[in-house]
A and B are shown apart, each in its own frame.
Chain A
Amino acid sequence: MITLGHYLVVSGMLFSLGLAGVIARRNIIIVYMCLEMMLSAANLALVGFSRFHLANGLPDYTAQSLVFFTITVAAAEVAVGLAIIVALFRSKQSVDVESVTKLQG
């Protein structure tokens, strides 16, 4: 049988994949995609807890409301982040994270 643990492990593995991508990749757009993956992994854990923690015989809708807010914030974040990437590309002509080293001491 599929338990809550199964969903949590899938969520954790998806989060770890995203984390590995954020650390290892150098293309800033792919780093951004991996960030989105980590957000979705957190959503999966939330929805899992919502389903397996019943309130009055129904899934706990407080958690699903939080997922709704997370998705909204993620959408706004993608829009702003990609605008920043476009601005960065205009000034550096590159999307490599190592081309942005101005703040490095």
Chain B
Amino acid sequence: MPPLLFYLFALITLGFGFMVVTGRNPVTCALSLAASFVGLAALFLSLDAYFIAVIQILVYAGAVMVLFLFIIMLLDIKTEEGKKLNMPAIVSGVLLAVLLTLQIAAVVGSTELAKKTSQDTPLALAEAATKIGKAAALPTITNDLKSGTLPDAKLIGFTLFDQYGFHLQVIGLLLLVGTIGVVVLSKRERSAP
């Protein structure tokens, strides 16, 4: 990815992220968050993580944001204009954020690992076809690798079902419990007789 595009998408992600934090109208905040997530998905694309980028758009910018907008409009939340700002919280929040950013920048600046570029770590697709262990038994993956395309979703799927099958089922159970929890929480309590 050309550096210019990286800076553009980083600016979109952080700029709209800033609008989420400072916006007065919840609907503006929700839409800014969606835009910020789209910028983040573009950054994922630049890291050759195509599957994660698509998931980011579908789940975050799609499902999660619709849920947020739905709740904002259901509750009919007004802009919090007129309310006085909570100065101590704002000052401490900004201070903590600046300190954390500086600390992360200092750590990143002092490690050798962080100086790696994508030229230092080029993807070796054709060579990888013979070295991927059990996944090499699957022609759909090896053929993609030999023809020079990255079978991103297939490799994530293989990793998930090969090594993390149990965890995947636990996640499925978590989603089920979450669904039941939402139904229980949003049921109106009956008034005591």
- Inter-chain contact A5/B109, CB cutoff 8 Å: yes
Please indicate the chain B residues that have their CB under 8 angstroms from the CB of A76 in the complex. Answer: 174-175, 178
- Inter-chain contact A1/B3, CB cutoff 8 Å: yes
Please indicate the chain B residues that have their CB under 8 angstroms from the CB of A85 in the complex. Answer: 71, 75
Please indicate the chain A residues that have their CB under 8 angstroms from the CB of B134 in the complex. Answer: none
A80 within 8 A of B: yes
Interface size counted on chain A using CB atoms at 8 A: 74
Please indicate the chain B residues that have their CB under 8 angstroms from the CB of A74 in the complex. Answer: 59-60, 64
B147 within 8 A of A: no
Q: How far is the CA of A4 from the CA of B137 in the complex (A)?
A: 32
Q: Which residues 20-73 of A have a CB within 8 angstroms of B? A: 20-27, 29-30, 32-34, 36-37, 40, 43-44, 47-48, 50-54, 56-59, 61-62, 64-65, 67-69, 71-73
* B53-85 vs A, Cβ < 8 Å mask (1 yes, 0 no): 001100110011001100110110100100100
- Inter-chain contact A40/B40, CB cutoff 8 Å: yes
- Inter-chain contact B49/A3, CB cutoff 8 Å: no
- Inter-chain contact A86/B74, CB cutoff 8 Å: yes
Please indicate the chain A residues that have their CB under 8 angstroms from the CB of B20 in the complex. Answer: 17, 21, 30, 33-34, 37
Closest approach, in angstroms, between the C-beta of A87 and any C-beta of chain B? Answer: 5
Closest approach, in angstroms, between the C-beta of A22 and any C-beta of chain B? Answer: 8
Q: How far is the CA of A9 from the CA of B104 in the complex (A)?
A: 7
Our pick among A6, A14, A16, A44 for the contact of B98 (Cβ within 8 Å) is: A16
- Inter-chain contact B167/A8, CB cutoff 8 Å: no
Instruction: Closest A residue to B47 by CB, please name it.
Output: A51
- Inter-chain contact A29/B77, CB cutoff 8 Å: yes
Q: How far is the CA of A85 from the CA of B160 in the complex (A)?
A: 33
Q: How far is the CA of A56 from the CA of B188 in the complex (A)?
A: 55
B101 within 8 A of A: yes
- Inter-chain contact B104/A26, CB cutoff 8 Å: no
Closest approach, in angstroms, between the C-beta of B108 and any C-beta of chain A? Answer: 4
Please indicate the chain A residues that have their CB under 8 angstroms from the CB of B132 in the complex. Answer: 56, 58
Our pick among B47, B56, B68 for the contact of A50 (Cβ within 8 Å) is: B47
Our pick among A15, A25, A44, A57 for the contact of B128 (Cβ within 8 Å) is: A57
Our pick among B37, B105, B174 for the contact of A73 (Cβ within 8 Å) is: B174
Q: How far is the CA of A68 from the CA of B167 in the complex (A)?
A: 11
Q: How far is the CA of A33 from the CA of B34 in the complex (A)?
A: 10
16 contacts between A and B (CB under 8 A): A2-B46, A3-B115, A5-B114, A14-B17, A33-B29, A36-B64, A37-B36, A40-B37, A56-B128, A56-B132, A68-B160, A69-B171, A71-B59, A73-B171, A73-B174, A76-B178
